[in-house]
Structure 1
Amino acid sequence: MVQEINLEQLNEFALSFWKHVGNAKVFALHGEMGAGKTTMVSALCRAKGVQVAASSPTFSIINEYVFKEDGIEKIIYHIDLYRLNSREEILQTGVEDCIGSGEICLVEWPAKAEWLFDENTVHLHIKVVNESRREIKVEIPSAALYK
């Protein structure tokens, strides 16, 4: 699915996105610096009901957000691999534990650790069209829909 959206439509996109990804838990966000990966994460978190503003975890590596679904408190991990340079660094930060936790994981710069992502990973490719528009390509593997 490829869609071009105005940034003002991001919240609508995020609500629709969650309806289409089934039971997927791991999401890899691809895009150049400044494409809007963190902005997308913020919209996806708001759509889930996260009450605090999502921010870039470039220095903390992992941010954790809480939301309620069906009266149950759940977690979204927002992971930024940009500053990590080796498999060892990635393992030391606990990224692999988050991805294997069964909680929702939104991962920026996934190319730094392709080995972490399996066939159930949903990939979002964000491309700048102009200052206010983005092209978003969503790849939802069929395995993710029914997991």
Structure 2
Amino acid sequence: MTKKVENLLLFMWSVALTATLGSLYFSEIRQYEPCELCWYQRILMYPLVIILGVAYAQKNAKVAVTTLIFSIIGGCISAYHYSIQKISFMQESAPACGRVPCTSDYINYLGFITIPFLALIAFILIIISSVLVLRSIKEEK
């Protein structure tokens, strides 16, 4: 495995770890109760910390297929969640989302940075890195 691939695995792990710690900070320290869509995003992000940590330790770049699938699904959920927060006609047709409405935003930095936006950025970074790892593997063959 090349140093580039090794660095990409470490980068993906750090992104997943940062996203996980960030979501735990918002829920456990700031006491923001996650909505249903936030839970789905967590279900797809949290395992990536363990999967990528093990893959980095084992120098297993083939994990990029798994991380790509998890991140594409998580990114789609994040994009939908962000759109029902920020696009008015999407808010009107948003489904009821349990005790905490999915349309509410606990944070709104600079008028556009919300928790689903942060998750979307993390998923996008992992998607891009996964594609780069898969390309590197293909080039090595």
TM-score (norm. length: structure 1): 0.30
Structure index of larger Rg: 2
Q: Say which structure is richer in strand.
A: 1
Q: Say which structure is richer in helix.
A: 2
